[in-house]
Structure 1
Amino acid sequence: MNNLVLECLSLAKQYADGANSVQVLNDLNFELRAGELVAILGVSGSGKSTLLNVLGGLDEPTAGDVRVKGVSWSRLSASQRCTYRNESLGFVYQFHHLLADFNAWENVAMPLRIAGMSQVDAKSQALQWLDRLGLSARASHRPSQLSGGERQRVAIARALVREPAVVLMDEPTGNLDQGSAERVLSTLEGLRDLNTAFVIVTHDESVAARADRRLRLEQGQLVAIQ
């Protein structure tokens, strides 16, 4: 069975910088399989966040193609992209981006509500995910009442609540102290029974060491780290 969930084909991305053109991604090829955890390292400005945005269909490549579960972003309209993204992808950022006026379970339930699920069923699923991530006692707390590590675990629950094929993570521990970061990483390791694949962009070698594969973004291409 082909368990390929994400692929990049000859991906390129350029930005205009005045009269010059800056090549951020250059003939980049990448494959990700179900259940795999891949870390992407690179120096600041190497294009890691740009790559994640292109992978997630949030930014257009200059050339090449990105396919999620065999579906090319280029073949979807803007509205189709939103629907497919909510169904097939999860996102976790350095800053949690939780909605301040909603409590933890309401934030986790948001993708389900957007998809049309009833509030009763969405709440039930959200609470199950918060329980799995050790946050049952914090389900009714708003983000301002949670620690940094708790907020990030709520964001992970929100990313996983629709059981997506891929979760894209941009420096998920970059804003946390060492103890909170370790708790988040342990949470990810506890999710290895899922069929979801994870791509973690990080500058932290200790975070990358927990991955199945480590890649470095250099001169617009991904290079395997032995």
Structure 2
Amino acid sequence: MIQVQGISKSFAGQRVLRELSFEVPDARITALLGANGAGKTSCLRILCGLLRAEGGQVLVGGVDPALDPQGVRRQLGVVGDREGLYERLTVAEYLDIFARMQGLSGGALKSALASVCEELELQSLWKRRMGGFSQGERMKVSLARALVHQPKHLILDEPTRGLDVLAVRLLRRTLLRLRSAGTAILFSSHVMPEVAELSDRVLVMSQGRIVGRGSPDELIAETGCGNLEDSFVALAYGERTPVAGEVV
């Protein structure tokens, strides 16, 4: 489980996160839903230990990333910027490096690499250098890097951005399998159909605050709207779209 209690963050005197508190349970997919600039990426970077929060506390599997970043990274997989790939390396070389950085060696290393290769259908890319890879191919490699050490927690920042249909289907299938295996999954998005289809729980974020939380159906019921998109607008901006047949 990931636990967040009362964290804030400012840049150049501008507050971007305002006393956020939420949980990401094990064996659930939680979506962090917000418009561009809502603070989603800053929040995720704090959870990963890349930024320090101003007050409050974050626990990833009971470990505080501000106090023990290496301890958090051992049990956390992160899919963020797909531009972080080393284009002169083959997929096999790249994943081997990251697996070793997570402490894998010998038979455990070979088994982990074989597992992500099969799970993410990387066979045709395995010996290729990564320069010139498509967005979908880059996503596969980024996801493999995040999963090679079999983490208990997975964080993804806008994972479907720029992907084609087949890549989105592979990502969706992988996340559902991980949920069934007990992984705590948190992904950020502003794409409503993606959130409605994948998530068990939704955290609606606006101007650095959590302004709504619950399952997609619970948010729709809470706002009295007809779909998740209208519910998001109502919660984030205070605007409500009448449902079909409603007299206003």
Match of 2:135 among 148, 157, 167: 148
* 1:56 paired residue number: 48
Q: Which of the pair has more CA radius of gyration?
A: 2
Letter of the 2:208 counterpart: G
Distance 1:220 1:116 in 2: 36
* 1:187 paired residue number: 174
Letter of the 1:101 counterpart: R
How far is 1:142 from its partner? 2.2
Match of 1:202 among 182, 189, 202: 189
Further displaced range: 121-130 or 31-40: 121-130
* 1:135 paired residue number: 122
Aligned residue for 2:100, secondary structure, equals helix
Aligned residue for 1:10, secondary structure, equals strand
RMSD, matched Cα = 2.1
Letter of the 1:169 counterpart: L
How far is 1:194 from its partner? 2.2
Letter of the 1:173 counterpart: T
Letter of the 1:30 counterpart: F
Aligned residue for 1:110, secondary structure, equals helix
How far is 1:93 from its partner? 1.8
Q: Which consecutive aligned stretches of 4+ in structure 1 deviate over 6 angstroms post-superposition?
A: none
Deviations 1:29-50 (A, max 9, x none): 1111212111111111111100
For structure 1, the residue ranges without an aligned partner over 5 or more in a row are none
Distance 2:154 2:103 in 1: 21
2:34 equivalent to 1:42? yes
Aligned residue for 2:95, secondary structure, equals helix
Q: 1:106 to 1:194 in 2, by over 3 A?
A: farther
Aligned partners of 2:179 and 2:185 also within 8 Å: no
Tell me the TM-score normalized by structure 1: 0.85
Q: Which of the pair has the greater relative contact order for Cα pairs under 8 Å at 6+ separation?
A: 1
Further displaced range: 111-120 or 35-44: 111-120
Aligned partners of 2:76 and 2:151 also within 8 Å: yes
Distance 1:116 1:178 in 2: 35
For structure 2, the residue ranges without an aligned partner over 5 or more in a row are 220-248
Letter of the 2:205 counterpart: L
How many corresponding residue pairs?
A: 213
Aligned partners of 1:108 and 1:126 also within 8 Å: yes
How far is 1:12 from its partner? 1.1
Further displaced range: 54-63 or 184-193: 184-193
Identity of aligned residues (%): 31
Further displaced range: 177-186 or 132-141: 177-186
Larger fraction in strand: 1
Map residues 1-226 of structure 1 onto 2, 5 A cutoff. 5-16=1-12, 21-76=13-68, 81=69, 83-95=70-82, 97-118=84-105, 121-144=108-131, 146-209=133-196, 210-222=198-210, 223-224=212-213, 226=219
Q: 1:34 to 1:106 in 2, by over 3 A?
A: farther
